[in-house]
Amino acid sequence: MNSIRKILGVVWLLLGPVVIYFLIAGAIHNVDPNGKKDINNPVIWVIIITIFLPIAIGLMIFGWYALKGEYSRNTSDR
Amino acid sequence: MKQMSEAGVLRKVIGASSLGTMIEWYDFYIFGMLAKTISTEFFPEGNSTAALLSTLAIFAAGFIVRPFGALFFGRLGDLLGRKSTFLLTLVLMGGSTFLIGLVPGYQTIGIAAPLIVLLLRLLQGLALGGEYGGAATYVAEHAPPGKRGFYTSWIQTTATLGLFLALGVIMVVKMNMSDQRFNAEWGGWRYPFWFSIILVVVSVYIRLKMEESPLFARLKSEGKVAKNPLRESFRKKANFKMVLLALFGAAMGQGVIWYTGQFYAQSFLETKVALNFEQSRSILLWAILLATPFFIVFGWLSDRIGRKWIMLAGMLLGILTYRPIFNTLLNDAGTDQWKTELSNSKVQKESKLLANTSDSLIHTITHIEVANGAKYIKEQTDTLKVATGTISEGKPLIKDKVLPRPVYWKFVGLVFLLIFYVTMVYGPIAAFLVELFPVHIRYTSMSLPYHIGNGVFGGLVPFIGVLLQTTFTTDPLVGLWYPIGIAALSFAIGLIYLSNKIDKDVTD
């Protein structure tokens, strides 16, 4: 189980940049000064990307810790 | 005798903490529920500054200020103590809410109105960010080992009860006056804000009589209070890795399940299913009333079998059943199936000629009462082309649906299921978070993942829903893929990395 925990660390590590990419691509695709929906509003995208950037970095750090075995446990710890 | 008095103290601790937290949730929700009226009153259309302030009021309060409040008040709570900090958040929240109810509209004081409302809304977000962690920590640090899940589960009922109270108060006020009186500048929409001050005064009075958490008091007397809780929480790897685990393995999934089960369900019933105001609200009220005891049940159960599997089971049930449940809500209220019974129905048509240019618009409102008890309104705007004498039919809009009784109760059952999942993920999570962190940085460390999970991941459910709906227009349930995806990710992380072990000793 500990090796699965470590290997999956790579997935979480890569997921961070993927999230950032999709957010920026989503913003570029949907921001429209003439649009009336929330998804057309650039201010909302700025807020969301600002708050998600550290979260995505957090996910990468989580992946890094997992990869380094920080979350590995003894078999007695269920 | 001593045991009796200890039980009495615990009851007071739970009562005082839960009441205050419930009021904070109530205060936070009424703004969101009255957003349409508030928007008309303070953020008029056509004014770009007001539109920007409105966006900030709606999005910044939940996404940025709430996690910031968690850090700000979490730090205070770990430095000064739990009691004084969550007393401060209550006063700040209650004061802001009451003052929102007193701000004159845009028509009276101009741009100052949306500016003041924005400031007060941000203070609300800040206060909410600080309240929950304090209340949960305070109760957990009073609870005896083996009963922490049970005692903190009372705090967990408060977010849903706050929603219940907000729905109930708004519904009572709205049903006792005309829409015009409710939406007037000094109309009924302000009453729920004013009502808050009574609740807050009572709650502050009760909380003032409470003692500091025994664990924090001991820490303080021993001079072991953290010097810099933020640095210790997020710079020390041993703590920071647990903050990340709490966020990605539990709070993130819990946040989307919570939001989908209560807010998304309500919005879905109103906008996609097109139920009338009374039925959409009363369905949610019934479901909340029936499901709320399960917060306590799952909190209690988590003391026996561990927190992990209950929370993960709630996430898994959401992942597997969201689409069938929401699909049933959509299909069982579809008007097509009532067409066969329309022969016995009452149909009342009103047509108006709206414009008299070269082409004319004919606006038709049809009130339909189906024999099985269902009612709905169909609105259609057709264009009469004067040149050709032909009519080009507009797309009919179905609204204000009233469901027949059996379908209504079926809907109550389905929404109950959605909230039942909420009770599974949310009931044990306070105890889980408390046990993850040491006493001297607990308030700071547990507040941040909780508010990012709920405020950011949960709060994004409607936004991402619209985003997906705009991209994939054919599937009316496509918005559900966001909560399903986030819950699945959190489930996978929780399954692999979380431990089910209950930390019996939270004094360290």
Chain A interface test: which of B58, B240, B241 (most A C-beta within 10 Å): B241
Number of H helices, E strands in chain A: 2, 0
Contact (CB, 8 A) for B125 and B60: yes
Chain B nearest CA to A61, separation (Å): 8
Nearest neighbour of A43 by CB, restricted to B52, B240, B467: B52
Per DSSP, what are the bridge partners of residue B365? Answer: B350, B379
CATH 1.20.1250.20 residue ranges for chain B: 2-333+404-497
Q: Is A78 on the interface with B (CB under 8 A)?
A: yes
pLDDT of residue B354: 60
pLDDT of residue A13: 96
Q: Which two tokens stand for residue B58?
A: 């709606």
Residues of A with Cβ-Cβ distance to B63 under 8 angstroms: 47-48, 51
Asked if B60's CB is within 8 angstroms of A48's CB, the reply is: no
Q: What pLDDT sits at residue B392?
A: 82
Are B56 and A43 inside 8 Å of each other by CB? yes
Residue among B248, B456, B470 minimizing CB distance to A51: B456
Lowest average pLDDT, out of B167-171, B462-466, B489-493, goes to: B462-466
| Confidence (pLDDT) at B1 | 42
| pLDDT at residue B328 is higher than 90 | yes
Task: Collect all residues of chain B within an 8 Å Cβ-Cβ radius of residue A65.
Answer: 237, 241, 244
Q: Which residues on chain A are in Cβ contact (under 8 Å) with B241? A: 62, 65, 70-71
Note whether B239 and A65 are within 8 A (CB): no
CA distance B242 to B136: 18
- pLDDT beyond 60 at B356: no
Say what the pTM is: 0.90
Put simply, whether A64 touches B (Cβ < 8 Å) is: no
Of A38, A51, A73, the CB nearest to B64: A51
3-state secondary structure of B367: strand
User: Does the pLDDT of residue A74 top 80, yes or no?
Assistant: no
Residue numbers in B near A62 (CB within 8 A)? 241, 244-245, 248
- pLDDT per position as a tens digit, A5-30: 999 999 999 999 999 999 999 999 98
- The DSSP letter of residue B475 is -
User: Would you list which residues of chain B are within 8 Å, Cβ to Cβ, of chain A?
Assistant: 52, 55-56, 59-60, 63-64, 67, 237, 240-241, 244-245, 247-248, 452, 456, 460, 463, 466-467, 470, 493, 496-497, 499-501
Residue whose token pair is 């009469």: B384
Mean per-residue pLDDT, B84-96 = 92
Q: A30 — contact with chain B (CB < 8 Å)? A: yes
Beta-carbon separation of A62 and B241 below 8 A: yes
Confidence of residue B471 (pLDDT cuts 50, 70, 90): confident
The correct answer on CATH 1.20.1250.20 for the domain covering B2-333+404-497 is yes
B18 closest CA partner among B121, B126, B160, B141: B160
Q: Where are the domains of chain A?
A: 2-67
Mean pLDDT of chain B: 89
3-state secondary structure B133-192: HHHHHHHHHHCCCCCHHHHHHHHHHHHHHHHHHHHHHHHHHHHCCCHHHHHCCCCHHHHH
- Given this model, what pLDDT does residue B347 score? 66
Q: Which of B348, B324, B334 is nearest to B404 (CA)?
A: B334
Q: Is there a contact between B191 and B74 (Cβ–Cβ < 8 Å)?
A: no
CB of A41 within 8 Å of a chain B CB? The answer is yes
Express as a percent the part of chain B with pLDDT over 90.
56
Distance (Å) of CA B291 to CA B157, B285, B288, B419, B478: 10, 10, 5, 6, 26
Instruction: From chain A, pick out residues whose CB is under 8 angstroms from the CB of B499.
Output: 73, 77-78
* Partners of residue B67 in chain A, C-beta under 8 Å: 51
Distance from CA of B289 to the nearest CA of A (A): 33
Task: Identify from B461, B497, B500 which residue to disrupt to test chain A contact, counting A C-beta atoms within 10 A and taking the largest count.
Answer: B497
pLDDT at residue B62, rounded to an integer:
72
pLDDT of residue B441: 92
Contact A47 B63 (CB under 8 A): yes
Question: How many other CB atoms are there within 10 angstroms of residue B488's CB atom?
Answer: 18
> Sign of dihedral through CA atoms B276, B174, B119, B42?
positive
Minimal CA–CA distance to B248: which of B36, B508, B501, B453? Answer: B453
Nearest to B497 among A30, A59, A71 (CB): A71
Does the beta carbon of A50 lie under 8 angstroms from any beta carbon of chain B? yes
Tokens of B473: 């227009």
How many Cα neighbours within 13 Å face the side chain of A65? Answer: 20
Largest CA distance in chain B: 93
Among A8, A47, A78, the residue with its CB nearest the CB of B496 is A8
ipTM: 0.92
pLDDT (tens digit per residue) in B232-281: 889 999 999 999 999 999 999 999 999 999 889 988 998 899 999 889 99
Residue A70 burial (CB count, 10 A):
20
Neighbours of B13 (CB within 10 A): 21
Per residue in B390-448, pLDDT tens? 888 888 888 899 999 999 999 999 999 999 999 999 999 999 999 999 999 999 999 99
Q: Give the pLDDT band (50/70/90) at residue B487.
A: very high
Q: Are strands B359-369 and B397-402 parallel, antiparallel or unpaired?
A: unpaired
> Where do the DSSP E strands lie in B261-358?
346-353
